[in-house]
Amino acid sequence: MIQERQDTRLNWIAIWVTCKLAGLTALALLFVGLPIAYWLSFSRWRWKFLVESVVALPLVLPPTVLGFYILIAIGPHSPLGRLYGELVGHPLPFTFEGLLLASILYSLPFAVQPFAAAFDQVDRRAIEASWTLGVSKFQTFFKLIVPLSTAGLVTGAVLSFAHTMGEFGVVLMIGGNIEGSTRTVSIDIYDEVQALNYAGAAKTALFLLGVSYAVLLVVYAVNRNVWAAWPRK
């Protein structure tokens, strides 16, 4: 086994699992994150900060803590886990679906915060003008708010993609390390190093570094008028 892994080829299976996980997480967060961000940006509820803090929790919690609670929540002893087990026939932990759910929760702030920041920038007077022109709140969102927030939406999607690509602790807690199903690139690197295959680890690490850098290039290029590292005008 160790002998077999002593090569320096990239583990394409792990890369495919990782890309699939990151892509589906980013996609799911577009659907889950948009309504949450809309509510956070437009609600005038006085206790809104309570929800804002919950959304931001994954930023500060150790992934093991988050992973532990998700594991408990979806495990066979929880109502949610039992329901899933009865419906699908197998438990949620240590499957790709369980890992996807955990990734969505773990990357939530990386999507919701840029979305909400973009919505905050949209001129409230323009939104009101749209309403008085007879356009519903739902249509106003797609006709006016989304086109004005594209930079923030791209940023949120790309950051949640990138963040999922690099996650380790949560994957280990929820996904385990199943080849072709839950073994991601970051786990693969850890395994290579454990197996003293530094050459293989280096190649995979370089791949992850390249992808991460490319992703950040996209984010900064899209937002160069807002978040520029150098001052403009």
Partner 1 sequence: MAAEITIHLVKTFPGRAPIRAQIRYPVEGATVLILFGPSGSGKTTILRSVAGLEWPEEGTIRFVSRLWLDTASGVRVAPQDRHIGYMSQDYALFPTYTVAGNIAYGLSHLPSAERKKRVDEVMELFQLRGLEQAKPRELSGGQQQRVALARAVAPRPLLLLLDEPLSALDAPTRLHLRDELRSLLKQLALPSIIVTHDWAEALTLGDVMAVISAGDVLQVGAPIDVFSRPQNADVARVVGVETVVKGRVIEAIGGMLRVSVNGTTLMALEAESIGPDVFACIRAEDVVLEPGRASASSARNHLTGRVQAVTMLGASARVTLDCGFPLVAMVTRSTVDEFKLAPGLLITAAIKAGAVHLVSRQEA
**Taking CB under 8 A as the rule, does residue 118 contact partner 1?**
no
How far is residue 98 from each of residues 13, 188, 201, 210, measured CA to CA in Å? 19, 19, 26, 28
Query: How many angstroms separate the CA atoms of 175 and 92, rounded?
Result: 9
Question: Which residue, 61 or 148, has its beta carbon nearer to partner 1?
Answer: 148
- Least Å distance, CB 188 to partner 1, is 43
**Taking CB under 8 A as the rule, does residue 135 contact partner 1?**
yes
**Taking CB under 8 A as the rule, does residue 125 contact partner 1?**
yes
**Taking CB under 8 A as the rule, does residue 210 contact partner 1?**
no
Question: Which residue, 8 or 136, has its beta carbon nearer to partner 1?
Answer: 136
Choose one: 23-31, 52-60, 61-69, 130-138; the region binding partner 1 (CB under 8 A).
130-138
Restricting to residues 24-53, name those near partner 1 by CB under 8 A: none
**Taking CB under 8 A as the rule, does residue 7 contact partner 1?**
no
**Taking CB under 8 A as the rule, does residue 3 contact partner 1?**
no
Choose one: 120-128, 178-186, 190-198, 204-212; the region binding partner 1 (CB under 8 A).
120-128
Choose one: 18-26, 47-55, 99-107, 139-147; the region binding partner 1 (CB under 8 A).
139-147
Binder among 88, 123, 196, 227 for partner 1 (CB under 8 A) = 123
Choose one: 20-28, 123-131, 179-187, 208-216; the region binding partner 1 (CB under 8 A).
123-131
Give me the residues that bind partner 1 (CB under 8 A), please.
123, 125-126, 128-136, 143-144, 147-148
